[in-house]
Amino acid sequence: MGFVGTILGIVGFGFGFPIGILLGYFLYIYFQPTNVEKEEPIIRPLNELDSKTLHALLPEIPSWMKNPDCDRVDWMNQFIFDMWPYLDKAICNTIRSTTKPIFDQYIGKYCIESIEFDHLTLGTLPPTIHGVKVYETQEKQLAIEPGVRWAGNANISVILKFLSFRVTVQCSQLLDLQIFLVPRITLKPLVPSFPCFANLSVSLMEKPHVDFGLKLLGGDIMAIPGLYRFIQETVAAQISNLYHWPKVLEVPILDGASGATKKPVGILHVKVVRALNLRKMDFLGKSDPYVKLRLSGDRLPSKKTSIKMSNLNPEWNEQFKLIVKDPETQVLELHVFDWEKVKMHDKLGMQVIPLRLLTPHETKTFTVDLLKNLNPNDSQNKRNRGQLVVELTFDPFKEENGRLSDTLDGDFRHSSIGRASHDISFNGGVLLVTIESAENIEGKHHNNPYVLILFRGEKKKTKMIKKSRDPRWNEEFQFMLEEAPVGQKIHIEVMSKRRGFSFHGKESLGHVDINLLDVVNNGRINERYHLINSRNGTIHIEIEWSTT
């Protein structure tokens, strides 16, 4: 009997303990006093409160009252309030469509027959923005920090059907839902293609405050002692681990193929070797061929070979270098023309070569048939127009492993440094000069500014902007160099030109000479320079150095 009694005791404990816990849970939940009268809040002027009470109220004060850099956005809160009924439905429809595939994965498992939302609404109370801080940077980006608070009355109910039983997991009004967030929203880079920014990045600047209640089987499980604090802290910690700065949530907006966000990634070496069996275009002689070549999506003028007079099988063996921005989508466009002294040059044929066919650092020879155009249905493409032989080599730029993270150093610096390395590479590469804008420039006779760039005897200039003291150009210039520009300077001068006849046709509005050693060392600089011989004028310049 002793053995049997022991077995029965163990079995009784095994059944009795969970049943007792379950009964205690329902007694605790359902027999709590519900008719407790709530006291009316006492409203007192701030000047009547003591320092301790005021200190406790500081977190509740809007940021625009505490920080002069924050702006009130009552108009935006009113806009969100008016749009909230429609935003609520749109967000809930998105949640339903997003969670349906996730719910379907569990149907048929763990005896689950169905999972669906019974009620799904974010309530009638929209989030409010307690202030917005906008950061000015020298990067092509816009950074804002809104203080978001949401004390909502959401109603979310999920129905789970186990075998023939229905179990409702209900977040009934989420029981005083409160969410306090301070996200940093960065739109970068700013580009001249709608919506004018390529990516959106979000990170939390402070640990978020999340508070909510949860009902299970009609009872508030958050009322269980110890469970409430554990769940709240766990949720806040998980959100912080995912998105707390410097961790960033990146949302691409523009397709990379659009070309709006592309930067040079390498150099394409092109050797135009020869052409074979070109068509005779001159009535009394042969043809005078030359080749024009460019990369698709490149705004720079086409490069061209020399002219071979009266030759249907010319040999050039001429080399060119082109800047590559996207080797996966760009193609090399080759056009062969017959030079004419008087009339328009005749087109002998054309062809394209996709750069994705190239292997980095390997030279590949292509012998292509010339076509009239790229229309595959054009019958004239079947005619023999000759062939063109070219050699192509793609040399990617070296990866800048030392480049600092854009999140850590790109947002709030007055000068941007791309990579911090003390090793100087003397290999050739590309010097990329971007003239962003100028401020407070003033001429004695006229203000029609443009920028003149002088480097190694090469001269380039921006477009002219009429009658402006704060012009914005945002123009990019490329200098292909055989070696690093160590110990050299680039001369950048703001000029003004009067339109029409004038005794004062041109005048200098200020200049700056930039030592390129820092660019070679750091890979990139992005600074504002005070113009020499100008009272208050400044110019914003970005210079990058990339090596192969």
**pLDDT at residue number 286:** 83
pLDDT tens digits for range 131-175: 888 887 777 788 898 888 888 788 777 777 766 655 554 444 455
The mean pLDDT value for 376-385 works out to: 81
pLDDT computed for residue 19 by the predictor: 57
The secondary structure of residue 280, as a DSSP letter, is: P
% pLDDT > 70, the chain: 76
Provide the sign of the torsion angle of the four alpha carbons 112, 114, 118, 121, taken in this order: positive
Please, are residues 448 and 496 in contact by the beta-carbon 8 Å criterion? Answer: yes
Record the pTM. 0.60
Q: Identify the sign of the CA torsion 271, 277, 280, 281.
A: negative
> Average pLDDT over the chain, rounded to whole?
79
- Strand ranges for 218-296 from DSSP E: 219-220, 249-252, 266-276, 289-295
Average pLDDT over residues 63-87: 83
Average pLDDT over residues 409-426: 43
Per the model's pLDDT, the better-predicted residue between 113 and 478 turns out to be: 478
Query: What does the pLDDT average to over 477-497?
Result: 90
Check residue 140 and give its pLDDT.
79
Residues 6+ apart with CB under 8 A from 288: 282, 307, 308, 309, 310, 311, 338, 339, 340
Interatomic CA distance for residues 340 and 228, integer angstroms: 86
Counting residues of the chain whose pLDDT is more than 90, the rounded percentage is 27
CA distance 171 to 155: 6
Q: What is the pLDDT of residue 11?
A: 44
22 pLDDT band (50/70/90 cuts)?
Answer: low
Classify residue 119 by burial, with Cβ atoms within 10 Å: 0-12, 13-18, 19+: middle
- Per-residue pLDDT of 105-137, as tens digits, reads 777 776 777 777 777 888 888 998 888 888 877
DSSP one-letter string for 44-106: --GGGS-HHHHHHHGGGS-HHHH-TTEE--HHHHHHHHHHHHHHHHHHHHHHHHHHHHHHHHH
Residue 423: is it exposed, middle or buried by C-beta count within 10 angstroms (0-12/13-18/19+)? exposed
Long-range contacts of the stretch 45-51 (C-beta < 8 A, 24+):
none
pLDDT in tens, 443-460: 887 788 999 999 988 999
At 32-66, the pLDDT tens digits run: 554 445 456 667 776 777 777 777 766 666 666 66
* C-alpha–C-alpha distance, residues 516 and 322, integer Å: 22
| Dihedral of alpha carbons 417, 418, 419, 423, sign | negative
Asked if 527 contacts 541 with a C-beta cutoff of 8 angstroms, the reply is yes
